[in-house]
Amino acid sequence: METHISMIFKIMDRFRKRPLLAAEAGIYINGHRQRPLYKPGGYFIFTDLAPGETCFQISAPAFQQEALIALISAPGKGYLHSHLLLNPSPAYPFGSEVTTVRGRLWQDQRPYAHGHFYLIPGEGGEVMKVAEDKGEAGNTRLRLFAAVPERQLSFPGKYLIKDKDKGKGEVCLITRKDSREGMFLLEKELQFSHVRGTPLVEVIECRTEEDGSFFAALPELKQEKLTLSLLGKGPDEKNMTQGGVKTMEIHGGQANDLGDIQI
């Protein structure tokens, strides 16, 4: 009987930028633990799943839990490839001084429960710029100029394209650098077109708990400022718009409690 790939996860430790090992992540479907194939590099491979909408839950010690819903194709009709960047939980073994933030988001006098938002560590933070006349909507490749040494860039990693037209701001997941000069591969198609020189900044995607609380660990900061950028996000990650930016002072190398934050 022929075996068909249905889903591939590449699961990364976002903080240390390393792939997870097979024993580090448990993946569940409808509450039932699965036994996917594992390939070095953090690849968890599912074969011959039942077609249709499928809810995956990813659990790993010392990381925040993740969940996603995917539409699985019939066997032999194609497969999905998703990159997951797991955020540390407070139980993560950091091993040295690290900058962490926690807080609680409120919206319209209610906790911003199970919401998505992005953290941009530091002021400015531009690390790449669009290096083609126009990165067209629908493209899955984008030519970029690195404004910092490439060792400071994360792939796979999430980046905010800071278009001058705030209605065209969007977050893309760059999976890797192409073999061609300056070309990078995106996990999904661009939703908007962006002109040459449009800057990109690396972002940390966060999710809140039922009570609106969140926790995040930040990379080493040169400045003691954290820009908290909140982006509206539909269920299919389309039509992101920058709803507002809050800039808060934090202390590098310490645990920062930002308290209640109205958005």
* CA distance linking residue 20 with residue 61, whole number of Å: 11
Alpha-carbon distances of 188 from 51, 144, 171, 221, rounded to whole Å: 21, 16, 10, 29
- Facing residues of 245 across strands? 229
* CA distance linking residue 172 with residue 161, whole number of Å: 7
* CA distance linking residue 259 with residue 261, whole number of Å: 6
Count of Cβ atoms closer than 10 Å to residue 186 Cβ: 17
Q: CB–CB of 187/83 below 8 Å?
A: yes
Count of Cβ atoms closer than 10 Å to residue 178 Cβ: 13
Q: CB–CB of 111/261 below 8 Å?
A: no
- Residue-wise pLDDT tens digits, 147-192: 888 888 889 999 989 888 878 888 999 999 887 789 999 999 999 9
Q: The pTM is what?
A: 0.88
Comparing C-alpha atoms, which of 10, 72, 14, 90 is closest to residue 42?
10
* CA distance linking residue 190 with residue 114, whole number of Å: 25
Full pLDDT tens readout for the chain, 263 residues:
789 999 999 999 999 999 999 999 999 998 899 999 999 999 999 999 999 999 999 999 999 999 999 999 999 899 999 999 999 999 999 988 889 999 999 888 899 898 888 888 766 678 999 999 888 999 999 999 998 888 888 899 999 898 888 788 889 999 998 877 899 999 999 999 999 999 999 989 999 999 999 999 988 766 566 666 665 554 444 444 455 567 778 888 889 999 998 87
- pLDDT at position 251 is 82
